[in-house]
Amino acid sequence: MKVKEKSEVNTICYHCGEDVVERHYHIEDKEFCCKGCQTVYEIINKSDLCSYYDLEHSPGINQKQEVRKGKFDFLDDAQIIKKLTHFQDNTHQHVIFYLPQMHCASCIWILEHLDKIDSGIIKSQVNFVKKEVTVIYNYHETSLKKVAEALTIIGYEPHISLNDVSSSKVKKYDTTTIVKIGIAGFCFGNIMMLSFPEYFSLAKSDDIGLKTWFSYLNLALSLPVFFYSASEFFISGYKGLRQKFLNIDAPIALAVLITFGRSVYEILSGTGAGYLDSMSGIVFFMLIGRYFQNRTYQTISFDRDFKSYFPLGVSVINADGTEKQISVSELKVGDRIKIHNDEIVPADAILFLGKATIDYSFVTGESLPVEKSIGEIVYAGGKQTSGAIELEVVKEVSQSYLTQLWNNEAFKENKKEVKVSFIHRISRYFTYALFSVAITAAIYWSVNDPSKIWGAVTAVLIVACPCALLLSATFTNGNMIRILNKYKLYVKNASVIEHMSEIDTIAFDKTGTITEQGKSEITFKGMELSSYQSQLIRTLANQSNHPLSKSVVSFLPFTKMLNVKNYKEFKGFGTSATINEHFLKMGSSEFVLGKDSHQLASGSRVYMSIDEEFVGYFIVKNAYREGLENIVSSLGNQFDLKILSGDNSSEEGYLKNIFGNKSKMLFEQKPEDKLNFIKRLQNNNKRVLMIGDGLNDAGALKQSDVGIAISDDTNNFSPACDAVLSGKNFTLLKELINYCRRQKTIIFASFVLSILYNFVGLFFAVQGDLEPVIAAILMPISSISIVLLTTGLSSFYEIKLKRLRPDKSHY
């Protein structure tokens, strides 16, 4: 039957923008949805920061869920303060907090005016891209705990995890490549300027001394390029040869060496000006291309572990009943801990007191929380969803189930097959061809004019080095990474693009990957409910913290709260209560009807009766991502599709309607089961793309040829992976894969163009008459042409992505 839709609410909260259901909170003409939002407004108003509301409409964070008192007591611990502090002197401390709530200009404005909320704060500066705020405060006037509390009371509770104190301090940005590029560019520009006399053949007797002087200046300028800027090509090439592998850097290093060596010989012997401009130009352009390619999205971590998911502090109950906040790493077996609503259980523990409803979706993939009784074990990584509970630790954090799982060798080691990039394979054949041309030229001139052997051989190696191939690859990959970032697919490195182009099998996790996290689809089957009956049912559902009850509450419209008596909850069955003198029951068919229902349906059923009369049932299903059917249909024509889920098989029938009978579906899969399944596929010569979102997918993501983590907020926790894809762009998955497949086409096209330039250069080189001006013209024209071609083609192939993008306003 159709339930009356939720009535339209015209009033929204002045602070956060959510609907105001109960109008109990207001200041003058400003309405608030809860006491928390009203309190935050009062603080902002008192601090004279109300411009916060002028920059964006209702920019605040909803405050319905109050932050408990004493949550940040662990920040008074000297050791924790030391580990979180980035800088300290006699007065000031610097700390960086990650604030996932940051989302608009108003956020930036208020976070950079924290000194008006806490006078002990000297300065605060926002990094909006990383969603971080750097706070400089006087630790004699305020404390780290008070700074965290100040952020929390205005709606920006800092995310502080165990990883923040377990890992080393922030890694400094490596400027080595930038310095190398700067030196190479400076020297290249000046060498070209000083080579103009040679380019224009200024051979008058009064110019000879000037030309010689310029040649020696060029030689001096080339030294830092050869010995410093080009060093990485020599190191990489040497390492490859030691392993009996000819990578692309080896012939490039040889070309640079020969160009430099011949130039030194010509300048010192007075027989020529050399080709130092070409040598420095080659190094300069190749370093730019390599830098462009190696840029990754710095705000995303692709190598997170479970410590990023764990909290830093936990409440320990002392023998006298008082609570104390300590670091999670200090937990010992036998400690009594208190876990509050929506907090993570940090260690394996026995439930001692309270009602535990544990959400394991991120760890095991189960979509519904699990209820635990007193005396049962609660494993680390689960999230408590129904109030505060007390537990007794039975294993230290380092020995917990989750830690042991993560430390399993299969999860720690990268088992991916070490693949040689097709760039290295092409360069190998190119090098063979190059040496063949050089040897042929040497043989020819040994017969006809031995004096030209040295000039011809070295000229061939100078003109036709595989630099163009490297430039083609680096600029193509760099531009493709930029475009993929634009569509919110953030790849770890350029090799991911190549591996993505070779996949033939895609394995999907279910919960949080093809379903939307925290959302559900609800329908009601039964008699037509009146508004009053709907309110009776909603009132009963509102008494329970069970996720299915919460789904029913969100589905039914609110009018007013009714009087509840004799509320009872029967674990695993349902709830009952007398509401306005009506007796209601809600739960399983066995609890409500007295018998099991064997009717097939995807999703979970919640049965209802009023005054012992059955009125119907709610069907609560996972909300699948928008457009899933179209995505699967298009991918199924091109790839072999699989489903690996830690959840039960209740929705298998629905998924088969989408994926078809050919797609293998495995349910109730443990993390190691997923990993082993990926291995079996690879043993059958399958190239596997694994798409997941939780810790239970970490091993499979690492084992697969490409592992993509789906995240509805790319700044939030996601497991170690090769790439992160925004959930909003899940509909673009096929086109993003196909776009990666264009990589080889673009590289081959630009390589063909560079070969044409090489033919021109080789025409002069094999004759032993390669003039510096010809090399100086060919080198930059070839490099610039490659850059323009790779940029143009990668942008051309983006057209289909532009047409299909979900929200054009975001690009």
538-593 confidence digits (pLDDT tens): 989 888 877 788 888 888 887 777 888 888 888 778 899 999 899 999 998 889 98
How high is the pLDDT of residue 297? 46
pLDDT tens digits along 234-251: 898 888 788 777 777 777
pLDDT tens digits along 35-85: 778 878 888 888 787 777 877 777 777 665 566 677 788 888 888 888 888
The predicted model scores a pTM of 0.68
Most confident of 152-166, 720-734, 748-762: 720-734
> Residue 193: pLDDT band by 50, 70, 90 thresholds?
confident
For the domain made up of 73-166, give the CATH fold.
Answer: Alpha-Beta Plaits (3.30.70)
In degrees rounded to 5, what are phi and psi of residue 694?
-120, 175
Beta partners for 582? Answer: 579
Share of the chain above pLDDT 90, in %: 12
> Residue 445: pLDDT band by 50, 70, 90 thresholds?
confident
H/E stretch holding 634 reads helix 628-636
How high is the pLDDT of residue 201? 58
Closest CA to 771 of 311, 319, 273, 345: 273
Name residue 741's amino acid. Answer: R
Q: Is the pLDDT of residue 416 over 80?
A: no
Closest CA to 557 of 531, 575, 578, 518: 531
How high is the pLDDT of residue 443? 85
CB atoms within 10 A of CB 272: 16
Q: What class is the 488-516+625-740 domain?
A: alpha beta
For the domain made up of 311-345+348-394, give the CATH fold.
Answer: 2.70.150
**Average pLDDT value for residue range 640-668:** 87
What are the domain boundaries of the chain? 1-66, 73-166, 175-295, 311-345+348-394, 488-516+625-740
What is the DSSP secondary-structure string of 514-573? TEEEEEEEEEEEESPPPHHHHHHHHHHHTT---HHHHHHHHHSPP-----EEEEEEETTT
Q: Is the pLDDT of residue 3 over 60?
A: no
**Average pLDDT value for residue range 789-799:** 84
Higher pLDDT, 539 or 453: 539
601 backbone φψ class: left, alpha, beta (φ>0; ψ -120 to 50): beta
Q: Is the pLDDT of residue 145 over 60?
A: yes
How high is the pLDDT of residue 46? 81
Q: Is the pLDDT of residue 225 over 90?
A: yes
Mean pLDDT, the chain, whole residue set: 79
Q: Is the pLDDT of residue 467 over 80?
A: no
CB 308 within 8 A of CB 301: yes
> Residue 365: pLDDT band by 50, 70, 90 thresholds?
low
Higher pLDDT, 777 or 312: 312
**Average pLDDT value for residue range 365-387:** 79
**Average pLDDT value for residue range 433-447:** 80
Contacts of 322 (CB under 8 A, 6+ apart): none
How high is the pLDDT of residue 598? 57
Contacts of 810 (CB under 8 A, 6+ apart): none
Closest CA to 241 of 430, 428, 23, 447: 428
Q: What number of CA atoms fall less than 13 Å from residue 111's CA on the CB side?
A: 31
Closest CA to 708 of 695, 730, 724, 719: 724
Residue 14, SS3 per DSSP: coil
Most confident of 351-365, 463-477, 582-596, 775-789: 582-596
Q: Is the pLDDT of residue 618 over 60?
A: yes
How high is the pLDDT of residue 208? 66
Q: Is the pLDDT of residue 171 over 70?
A: no
Structure tokens at 105: 């200009």
What is the DSSP secondary-structure string of 443-480? HHHHHH-GGGHHHHHHHHHHHT-THHHHHHHHHHHHHH
**Average pLDDT value for residue range 272-301:** 73
pLDDT tens digits along 86-96: 888 888 899 98
> Lowest-pLDDT range, 189-203, 621-635, 718-732, 738-752?
189-203
